[in-house]
Amino acid sequence: MKLARVLPVVDKDIDVVALTPPKSTSLLSTSAQDDKAHELVNCKPLESIEAAVTTEAHENARRTSGRTHEEVQYVRLEQYDYDEVKGIAVIFRNAIVTGAESLVTDCSVVYRPGGGSNFETGAGWNIYRPLTAESPHFNWTSKVDIDRAVLLASFYAHGYFHYIVECLPRVVMVRDFVLRNPDVKIIHYPPVAADLVLLYQLLGIDPARVVEYDTKTLYRANTLIVPTATATFRANTLAVQQTRDLFRDSIPGQLGIPREDPFERARLFLSSSSPGGLIRADRVRIVVHDRGRGKPRSVEQQKELESAILKRFPNAEVTVYNAARANTREMIVMHYRADVVVGPHGAGLSNALFMRRGSSMLEFNIPDRRTDPSIRCHEITATKLGLRYFYESAVGGKHSGVMQINVDDIVAALVPIVDFHENELNSSVHLTK
């Protein structure tokens, strides 16, 4: 059995995905640093996923390939290209998946989807550790058989940011196919909170179709579809925009809250409690993130910050978000309604995916990490989602420890942000009976 490393690379001349074999046919001696381009091997482009998974197309591919092993096929998804990432969905027959890397093989090639790299290797798309004799990729203790499935599991996808920004939007790339084929399962890492499977429901996908991925289990699928991985810390532009739009379209109906209506929010009505006799129907909504006590990047002056914001913006609706105290529904609703989110660097800022275009985010972090590409992940996500992003430096602390801030500086940075949203509401005010 020949096991080859497969690295998706777009050939400049013929625009197809090249499969790059290793120097050795032995998997355990494969060098992950071998980036030399080789001949195109056993790769067939198709117009749609349906074309790839039909029996007729599969049998035709086998007859024309002249090979004894299963043919690797793919569907090019150019609309999901960004940076160096190429949008593709690779389709395997009789494939197995296992290990922390979600390594895929059909016993003729090994496909390493990439994405979710370890922090030492940088923010890459196809970054992964070298395979060695000590690699734990094939140390499974149980086996699960599935007929057809989409593979979303990737490095670090058990962490909330990697789960909601890097992993979940990949299902949106093939969502139409998934909705048309209710038998197709979704393989993903179990999220940090069990009720986060609600996010699939918001995408119109039954959470019962989800299969939780375990690195010590071998998964065998008759047909396996692998959407292109997300570059670490860099959201797929179109995929996160589509995910946000699907979330915001379904949240009111599924979670039973009023749909956001800017016209209704700016309504004026008569009130005896108002000095001028009129009061606006809604206020600017500020969500302040609290990472708890003693946790990485928790804020030493958290209570002082909350009190200062309440004092400086008495006309605003100020809510504190703490992941340990809020369930998934509360978290979603809080950020769906938010005009402004302010808080330290942390996975909670990934909730930008529930926020409206044009809302604002103010992030602060220890100053010596600002140039680290991993620290810009929330800026990248917020910008791609059309949020107004702002950054302030903390005055001390460690990435893995407690952070110290200048409360006055954070509040001062908030003033023009809140004023912008006040003006946004005031520009639309109208009097109704």
Q: Is residue 54 part of a domain?
A: no
The 10s digit of each residue's pLDDT in 193-239 is: 889 999 999 999 999 999 999 988 999 999 999 998 888 888 999 99
Mean pLDDT estimate for the chain: 78
What is the gyration radius of the CA atoms in the chain, in angstroms?
24
One domain for residues 219 and 303: no
Band the pLDDT of 7: cuts 50, 70, 90.
very low
Length of the chain: 433
In this structure, of 56-65, 126-135, 201-210, 357-366, the range with the lowest mean pLDDT score is 56-65
Spatial separation of the C-alpha atoms in residues 71 and 56, rounded to whole Å:
13
* Range of the structural domain that residue 346 is part of: 257-272+280-431
Spatial separation of the C-alpha atoms in residues 53 and 57, rounded to whole Å:
7
Q: Is residue 183 part of a domain?
A: yes
One domain for residues 311 and 416: yes
One domain for residues 323 and 418: yes
Does the structure show a pLDDT above 50 at 40?
no
* Greater model confidence, 400 or 382: 382
Does the structure show a pLDDT above 60 at 70?
no
One domain for residues 261 and 211: no
Does the structure show a pLDDT above 70 at 269?
no
One domain for residues 420 and 315: yes
3-state SS, residue 280: strand
The 10s digit of each residue's pLDDT in 122-165 is: 556 655 555 554 455 557 789 999 999 999 988 778 889 999 99
Spatial separation of the C-alpha atoms in residues 264 and 73, rounded to whole Å:
51
Q: Please, where are the H alpha helices in 44-92? A: 49-53, 55-65
> What pLDDT sits at residue 16?
31
- The structure tokens 């990729």 sit at 137
The predicted model gives 29-50 an average pLDDT of 38
One domain for residues 130 and 210: yes
Band the pLDDT of 88: cuts 50, 70, 90.
confident
The predicted model gives 88-96 an average pLDDT of 88
Domain count, the chain: 2
Q: Is residue 14 part of a domain?
A: no
One domain for residues 266 and 303: yes
| Residue 332 and residue 362 in contact, taking contact as beta carbons nearer than 8 Å | no
* Greater model confidence, 137 or 87: 87
3-state SS, residue 352: helix
In this structure, of 73-87, 144-158, 254-268, 272-286, the range with the lowest mean pLDDT score is 272-286
One domain for residues 224 and 285: no
Task: Select from 180, 90, 72 the least CA-distant residue to 126.
Answer: 90
The predicted model gives 9-14 an average pLDDT of 30
Tell me how far CA of residue 97 lies from CA of 163, 174, 216, 325, in angstroms. Answer: 19, 19, 10, 36
* CATH code of residue 413: 3.40.50.360
- Phi/psi at 356 (nearest 5 deg)? -80, 155
One domain for residues 416 and 318: yes
One domain for residues 214 and 284: no
194 class by beta-carbon count within 10 Å (0-12 exposed, 13-18 middle, 19+ buried): exposed
3-state SS, residue 5: strand
Spatial separation of the C-alpha atoms in residues 316 and 284, rounded to whole Å:
5
Band the pLDDT of 243: cuts 50, 70, 90.
very high
One domain for residues 264 and 176: no
Q: Which of 53-62, 79-88, 345-354 has the highest mean pLDDT?
A: 345-354
Does the structure show a pLDDT above 80 at 281?
no
Band the pLDDT of 85: cuts 50, 70, 90.
confident
Q: What percent of the chain has pLDDT over 90?
A: 48
Does the structure show a pLDDT above 60 at 288?
yes
In this structure, how many other beta carbons lie within 10 angstroms of the beta carbon of residue 327? 12
Task: Indicate the helix (H) or strand (E) that contains 409.
Answer: helix 407-426
